[in-house]
């Protein structure tokens, strides 16, 4: 029988790497708390229509990459429903914002999430079919200040703080404005017109994009196409005065806060909901998939999925890519810390008493590894030496006298310790 493996594009995360994942998530939660964000957890699957309307029917994500199925009716009264594993979380958060009438409070909603997303992409380093995002969204009625450029700058400043606290150095913030829907339509026309005379010099993909979706030409990575793409009009020239003023205010606030950025006219992003500010943070160590995170403003998303006007801005960090970046900077993962004691029962008759002792010590906050009375003492010593600072030997004699034999592996000293003094003894730092 062939052995079963994790499905292509998915993977198991094992210790000690999971320690790093937990550390990243704890740091993110601590930063989000300081900026007064609360956690939201939305379902892993949603009605397919949410993504078709929210992310956009024409995007790569919706047209090619979603895990979608027809969910069978369970009863005659139930209809089948098209469901999709979430490929991103912004649409789900905005759906929840509408469903729970969070806008009624008149306050800005500041929500963060940590969890898996699913896209049927071609797997490679830093690109998986199940991956994890750490994201946040700020959304609310315009009266709560949700359109203010200060929100954009604050979100970007928070990201800079989070990356710094995680110890990620050498990131670059790429920033652009894709303007309003009307600005983008104007730019699309300008781009389409400019592409007509030069499209034949571009790769076959770009020749198709030039007709179907000219904005996507800007994402092209084919080296031979770059000189031509560099001559195309930039979106900044198609922005109306309000979008220009908004973007200028974002840049001014970032300058004041000392957050460095690079303006990138080609950053148009692959999801349809973006308006005005768009951004990505890249890291050189990541190779082809160098976007650590991406985000932007989505002032029309709530209306697109049936809600009231609720402008918003947010981002999602690729957690897998954060981990890759941090791992590349470590020589090797730190060895897992030793537990305080390994309890070695001498014979199976004392197994039960050993469990009771382990329970008591663990309740007192000690980290304990419990051996087994069927092991020879030598085997217990080898196992204990690998995982623990001390070994506690528990035989019939020790049970009868309540005096235990304890060896400290760092000093090599073996001592008799009264049962009552054991917790304190084991908690002491190494004696060597």
From the CB of 329, what's the least distance to ligand HAM, in Å?
Answer: 17
User: Cβ 259 to ligand HAM, closest distance in Å?
Assistant: 18
| Residue 137 or 408 with smaller CB distance to ligand HAM | 137
| Residue 65, helix vs strand vs coil | coil
Cβ contact 89:135 at 8 Å: yes
Question: Residue 234 CB, nearest distance to ligand HAM (Å)?
Answer: 21
Q: Minimum distance between the CB of residue 104 and ligand HAM, rounded to whole angstroms?
A: 22
Q: Which is nearer to ligand HAM, 172 or 385 (CB)?
A: 172
Identify which of residues 56 and 384 has a Cβ nearer to ligand HAM in the complex.
56
- Smallest gap from Cβ 59 to ligand HAM, in A, equals 9
Of 88 and 340, CB closest to ligand HAM: 88
Which one, 133 or 380, has the nearer CB to ligand HAM? 133
Shortest spacing between CB 275 and ligand HAM, in angstroms:
11
Collapsing DSSP to helix, strand or coil, 165 comes out as: helix
- The residue with its CB nearest to ligand HAM is 318
Sheet of strand 388-394, all strands in order from the earlier edge strand to the far edge:
368-370, 339-345, 388-394, 403-408, 414-418
Q: Which tokens in the block code for residue 319?
A: 């957690």
Which helix (H) or strand (E) covers residue 398, if one does?
helix 396-401
Angle subtended at Cα 110 by Cα 104 and Cα 114, rounded to the nearest 5 degrees: 125
Q: Which two tokens stand for residue 176?
A: 């652009």
CB 310 within 8 A of CB 199: no
CB of 360 to ligand HAM, least distance (A): 45
Query: What does the binding site for ligand HAM look like in residue numbers (CB under 6 A)?
Result: 88-90, 119, 121, 126-128, 131, 133, 135, 137, 271, 291-296, 298, 314-316, 318, 320-321
104 secondary structure, DSSP code: G
Report the Cα 230 to chain-centroid distance in Å: 33
Euclidean distance between CA atoms 283 and 351, whole angstroms: 53
> Do 45 and 83 meet the contact criterion of CB atoms below 8 Å apart?
yes
Q: Indicate the residue among 66 and 293 with the shorter CB distance to ligand HAM.
A: 293
Question: What is the DSSP secondary-structure string of 24-57?
Answer: HHHHHHHHHHHTT-EE----SEEEHHHHIIIIIT
Nearer to ligand HAM, 281 or 381 (CB): 281
């Amino acid at each position: 029988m062939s052995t079963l493996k994790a499905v292509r594009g998915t993977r198991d995360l094992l210790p000690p790497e999971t320690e790093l994942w937990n550390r990243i998530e704890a740091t993110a939660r601590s930063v989000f708390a300081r900026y007064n964000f609360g956690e939201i957890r939305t379902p892993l699957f949603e009605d397919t229509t949410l993504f078709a309307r929210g992310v956009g029917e024409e995007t790569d994500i919706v047209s090619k990459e979603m895990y979608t199925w027809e969910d069978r009716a369970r009863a005659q009264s139930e209809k089948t429903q098209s469901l999709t594993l979430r490929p991103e979380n912004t649409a789900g958060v905005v759906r929840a914002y509408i469903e729970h009438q969070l806008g009624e409070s008149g306050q800005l909603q500041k929500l963060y999430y940590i969890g898996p997303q699913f896209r049927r992409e071609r797997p490679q380093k830093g690109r998986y079919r199940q991956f994890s995002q750490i994201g946040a969204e700020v959304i609310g009625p315009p009266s709560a200040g949700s359109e203010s450029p200060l929100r954009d700058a604050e979100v970007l400043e928070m990201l800079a703080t989070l990356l710094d606290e995680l110890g990620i150095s050498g990131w670059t913030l790429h920033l652009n404005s894709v303007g309003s829907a009307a600005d983008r339509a104007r730019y699309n026309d300008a781009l389409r017109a400019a592409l007509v005379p030069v499209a034949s010099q571009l790769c076959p993909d770009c020749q198709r994009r030039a007709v179907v979706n000219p904005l996507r030409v800007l994402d092209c990575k084919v080296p031979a196409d770059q000189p031509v793409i560099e001559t195309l009009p930039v979106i900044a020239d198609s922005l109306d005065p309000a979008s220009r003023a908004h973007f200028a205010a974002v840049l001014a606030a970032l300058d004041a806060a000392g957050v460095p950025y690079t303006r990138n006219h080609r950053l148009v992003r692959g999801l349809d909901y973006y308006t005005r500010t768009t951004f990505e943070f890249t890291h050189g160590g990541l190779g082809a998939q160098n976007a650590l995170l991406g985000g932007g403003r989505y002032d029309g998303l709530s209306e697109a999925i049936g809600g009231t006007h609720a402008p918003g801005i947010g981002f999602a960090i690729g957690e897998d890519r954060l981990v890759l970046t941090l791992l590349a900077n470590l020589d090797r993962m730190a060895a897992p810390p030793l537990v305080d004691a390994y309890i070695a029962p001498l014979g199976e008759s004392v197994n039960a008493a050993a469990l009771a002792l382990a329970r008591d010590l663990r309740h007192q906050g000690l980290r304990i590894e419990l051996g087994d009375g069927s092991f020879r003492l030598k085997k217990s010593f080898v196992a204990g030496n690998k995982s623990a600072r001390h070994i506690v030997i528990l035989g019939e004699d020790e049970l009868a006298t309540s005096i235990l034999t304890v060896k400290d592996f760092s000093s090599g000293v073996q001592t008799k310790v009264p049962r009552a003094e054991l917790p304190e003894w084991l908690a002491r730092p190494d004696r060597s």
